[in-house]
Amino acid sequence: MSHDPSDSPSPTQDELDLLHYESRIQRPVRMKIPEFERNERLRHVIFSGQFSVSMLEDLAETADKIRILSKMRDGQDFLIRLLNHKRAMLYFTQPSTRTFLSFMAACQILGITCNEVRDPTTSSETKGETRFDSLRMFSSYFDLIIMRSKLARLAESCAYLMNDLEATGNRSVPIINAGSGSDEHPTQALLDIYTLQRTFQFSRPKDSPAATRFDELRRDYPDLTKGLSNKVYGFCGDIGRGRTVRSLASLLGNYEGVTLIFIAPDDPTLSLRDDLRQRLADRGVRIIEVQSFEELVGGIPVIEQLDALYMTRIQKEHNQASDDAQFAALDLSRYKLNLDLVSRMKRYAPILHPFPRDQHFGEIPPEIDNDPRAVYFRQARNGMWVRAALLASIFGVDHQIARFFHEEYSEWHDYNENPAPIH
């Protein structure tokens, strides 16, 4: 029977609007980056490829200063006055807890007033308004739009919409992608990188010049270095559909001498996708794909080689009708941690997870939570600090933070070795 084109549903206006930006979306990342910047500063945050190593270091420094200032009343008062004239719309039409709350907390740290739309049925979209009309309307009232959507390419398209408005003299505001379909989740990658940056400083409060944690570790691991370069990073679980994996792997590919090991079933849905594999290969990143922690690489089990492990759950909410039967034939128990596996990891190797973890699947059982290498709850908290740093950078107040920090907290005790006698 021949197919009558008239039987196909007409494209929605949202779909037509996305097609309007298709030619701009289908370009190499490096060609697009300048369009999301203003005066060498981020304006829109859409994908992880926008972050250079130097930018990641700058954001980490700002985040460190914000977290220290937030512990003191005068620091809190300074921070909350920085952007108290700004308003942010949190447009989260895809369910979220951690990303939503950490962005709201980051805004509150800097004094930004927040409003939200989390259920599109409560908006004019139920009356036929397109997402693009909604975004343009938000830009009339707010100074920033932070958005999360199931619709791939939407955040990037909205950034182009804002650029077009700016070019024609209309009001335009920054767009931050807090998750867009299966594309990327760039601010999750930021907090993941920030967690690794802090972990690989190998410092602790009780360190002294005579004895540091790094020195102790070097006795067991002589080749260990500080920083993110020259490390082996493992990614385990749902690699194919994990936008957090895509974003973090892309960022880690900027560092020298890294090896990325992807631990996933030999399944077209769950394993490493061709586009990410090619992107990393084009940059000369060493990639290894295995099907279990026990698989040997160079004669050594993978679990014993990792400098950091990024666990993910199997994202069942994305399953198609045929996936359940397909996955039932797989041995998914290989993609769960247990105490024995963790005991074989390097003493310093952090275990990360983007959350939520699946209590039914059990990729990280609760008994691992008390291991000092389990940093995933700290990782979630780090999202608040680094997202506050990102907002400070977008609005150009990061230099004010650095100056205030230096002025208020640069004083040191001068312990004179030969003090004047006390009479």
Query: What would the DSSP string read from start to end of 64-133?
Result: HHHHHHTTSHHHHHHHHHHTTT-EEEEEE-S--SHHHHHHHHHHHHTT-EEEEE--GGGSGGGGT--HHH
pLDDT at 9: 59
pLDDT at 207: 83
Alpha helices in 142-179 (DSSP H): 154-167
* Contact call for residues 155 and 161 (beta carbons, < 8 A): no
CA dist list (Å): 382 to 18, 90, 94, 158: 33, 19, 22, 27
Provide the phi-psi class of 355: left if phi over 0, else alpha when psi is between -120 and 50, else beta: left
CB atoms < 10 A from the CB of 48, how many?
A: 29
**Reduced to 3 states, what is the DSSP secondary structure of residue 178?**
strand
- Please give the DSSP secondary-structure letter assigned to residue 56: H
Q: d(Cα 394, Cα 145) in Å, to the nearest integer?
A: 12
Q: Which residues contact 174 (CB under 8 A, 6 or more apart)?
A: 43, 44, 45, 143, 144, 145, 162, 394
- The CATH label, of 3.40.50.980, 3.20.20.70, 3.40.50.1370, 3.40.50.720, for the domain at 186-203+213-379 is 3.40.50.1370
**Reduced to 3 states, what is the DSSP secondary structure of residue 298?**
coil
pLDDT at 82: 98
Contacts 24+ apart (CB under 8 A), 375-381: 375/195, 375/199, 375/350, 375/351, 376/351, 376/352, 378/195, 379/191, 379/192, 379/195, 379/352, 379/353, 380/98, 380/102, 380/191, 380/355
pLDDT at 16: 74
Task: Indicate the domain borders of the chain.
Answer: 16-45+83-184, 186-203+213-379
Q: Which amino acid is at 183?
A: D
pLDDT, averaged per 10 consecutive residues of the chain (423 residues), comes to 53 74 92 94 94 96 97 96 98 91 98 91 69 93 95 93 96 95 86 97 85 92 97 96 91 96 93 94 96 97 98 78 74 94 98 92 95 97 97 98 92 64 57
DSSP element (H, E) containing 16: helix 13-20
- Please give the DSSP secondary-structure letter assigned to residue 211: B
Cis-peptide, bond into residue 356, ω within 30° of zero = yes
pLDDT at 1: 47
**Looking up tokens 């700004």, which residue turns up?**
86
pLDDT at 419: 59
pLDDT at 422: 57
- Please give the DSSP secondary-structure letter assigned to residue 9: P
Per CATH, 16-45+83-184 and 186-203+213-379 having the same topology is answered yes
* Contact call for residues 347 and 306 (beta carbons, < 8 A): no
β-strand 308-311 against 232-236: which pairing, if any? parallel
Q: d(Cα 314, Cα 195) in Å, to the nearest integer?
A: 23
Q: d(Cα 233, Cα 212) in Å, to the nearest integer?
A: 24
Name the CATH topology of 16-45+83-184. Answer: Rossmann fold (3.40.50)
pLDDT at 7: 54
